[in-house]
Amino acid sequence: MKRRTLILGGMAGATALGWALKPEEAGSNHAPYFVQASAALDSAGLAKPTLIVDREMLLANINTLTSHIGDRFNYRIVAKSLPSLPLLQTVMEESGSNRLMLFHQPFLNEVATQLPDADILMGKPMPVSAVDNFYRNLGSTNFDPAQQLRWLVDTPERTQQYVEFAKANNQALKVCIELDVGLHRGGVRNNAQLVAILDILEASSQVSFAGFMGYEPHVVKVPGDPIKYRDKAMATYTHYVDLAKTHLGNAWPADVLLNAGGSPTYQLYDEGNFPFNELAAGSCLVKPTDFDLPSLADHQPASYIATPVLKRLDTLEIPGIDLGAVQTWWNPNRSQTFFTYGGYWKAVPESPRGLSTNPLFGRSTNQEMLNGSNRINLQPDDWVFLRPTQSEFVFLQFGDIAVMNRGTIEAMWPVFQESA
Ligand SMILES: Cc1ncc(COP(=O)(O)O)c(C=O)c1O
């Protein structure tokens, strides 16, 4: 073959390949669910970025979760992923669990005051000064931290700090020990560390050993067989339980708390014998996009961000060297431009279908540009819906949560407050 023919053939091939990469038109208008949600927001007089929880989907997800866990384990509600008192109360009522996992001292104070029947495990080790702040800010409540709260310790050093705090304040504390069962996010990593912590606790008359927490989301996140990683994590968990039982003898607590799991992994324990006695999960009940995982296929999205469209342009224009027309020519999903009220959340556009942010124009927390195809009929004051990628931080950014139930906003739920 002649060299020229080869070059021309190569160019034709590259052009065909390039053309094959040209995006297809993907836009469509709101499905009936979002038409109904828009009407519900309008009827409620809402006109700003709003976090919606769909009550029906939430209840369905709680039901899914409890039917997996059954009475095989206790269920602990991960409060950071559902950061609102009425939301937590709903989950507590529907699941029949009063066990909460908290991660933030101000929210711990709020829960201790407002949900005095809760049983609380801290999900991360806190600086001893945060422990001090909790007790100093605990107002009048029936919540008895000596019985209903378990702090988390990860090292002999922190354990020693807690012992000194307890002594100085004549305060009885219960602590669980964080285990590294393969996540490598801290916690006990070897026998010597565990024994050192247990020895410090045994010598204290105020701080007592109450159990373990071994979180293992890596099991479904790393490439490879989740069951293999699950079994490895559980072998590590069992090893530390056996070691502590032998070391403590009669001092092993009768009501020991052995916590594991999280949304991504809780369904891996539907059958079999495992060393823990309770499973934690929270996010799967509202299912942000980070939880679109094969292990959560039977959970449904139950939370959205809704925000009004402020402006619509029937073109795409980029300031400076205007590449808007080129973007539109290449991608029919960049034919129209919408500016929304707020933006740049940890979230992805959901409805109308086919909306996307523009990498050339950039992002905005004030008025975000979204582009879409000409098939989308979206006007100023209409609503755009996004799905949060995670709940714990996103839920706190919108004020009260709008609780939607079959086309009406039936309640507004306050979210946790940052206070002392
Ligand atoms: C210690 C611990 N347990 C459980 C969870 C699971 O929470 P979720 O079910 O919301 O993913 C987390 C999440 O960060 C965690 O840190």
Q: Ligand 1 site: residues with CB under 6 angstroms?
A: 78, 81, 101, 123, 213, 215, 262-263, 280-284
Residue nearest to atom 14 of ligand 1 (CA): 262
Question: Residue 126: which pLDDT band, with cuts at 50, 70 and 90?
Answer: very high
Question: Which is the closest atom of ligand 1 to the Cα of 263?
Answer: 9
220 close to 268: Cβ distance less than 8 angstroms: yes
Mean pLDDT of 401-415: 97
Q: What is the pLDDT of residues 308-330, one digit of tens each?
A: 999 999 999 999 888 999 999 99
Q: Which amino acid is at 255?
A: D
Q: What pLDDT is recorded for position 338?
A: 98
The reply to whether 27-49+302-413 and 58-283 are identical in fold is no
Q: How far is the CA of 281 from the centre of ligand 1 (A)?
A: 6
Rounded to the nearest 5°, which phi and psi values hold at 102?
Answer: -120, 160
Question: Which is the closest atom of ligand 1 to the Cα of 213?
Answer: 1
* Fold adopted by 27-49+302-413: Lyase, Ornithine Decarboxylase; Chain A, domain 1 (2.40.37)
Residue nearest to atom 1 of ligand 1 (CA): 123
Residue 182: pLDDT over 90: yes
Q: What is the pTM of this model?
A: 0.95
Q: How far is the CA of 109 from the centre of ligand 1 (A)?
A: 20
**Long-range own/partner contacts, residues 98-106 (CB < 8 A, 24 or more apart):** 99/74, 99/75, 99/278, 100/76, 101/76, 101/77, 101/259, 101/280, 101/282, 103/79, 104/80, 104/416, 105/130, 105/133, 105/134, 106/416, 106/417, 106/418, 106/419, 106/420
Q: What is the pLDDT of residues 44-98, one digit of tens each?
A: 999 999 999 999 999 999 999 999 999 999 999 999 999 999 999 999 999 999 9
Top mutation candidate among 81, 150, 185 for ligand 1, by most atoms within 8 Å of CB = 81
Top mutation candidate among 183, 212, 263 for ligand 1, by most atoms within 8 Å of CB = 263
Which percentage of the chain shows pLDDT scores above 70? 96
Q: What pLDDT is recorded for position 2?
A: 65
Token pair for residue 352? 């109308």
Question: Which is the closest atom of ligand 1 to the Cα of 123?
Answer: 1
Per the prediction, the chain carries an average pLDDT of 96
Mean pLDDT of 129-148: 96
* Fold adopted by 58-283: TIM Barrel (3.20.20)
Question: Residue 19: which pLDDT band, with cuts at 50, 70 and 90?
Answer: confident
Mean pLDDT of 113-134: 98
Q: How far is the CA of 280 from the centre of ligand 1 (A)?
A: 7
The domain ranges of the chain are 27-49+302-413, 58-283
Q: What is the pLDDT of residues 207-263, one digit of tens each?
A: 999 999 999 999 999 999 999 999 999 999 999 999 999 999 999 999 999 999 999
Q: How far is the CA of 282 from the centre of ligand 1 (A)?
A: 7
Q: How far is the CA of 53 from the centre of ligand 1 (A)?
A: 20
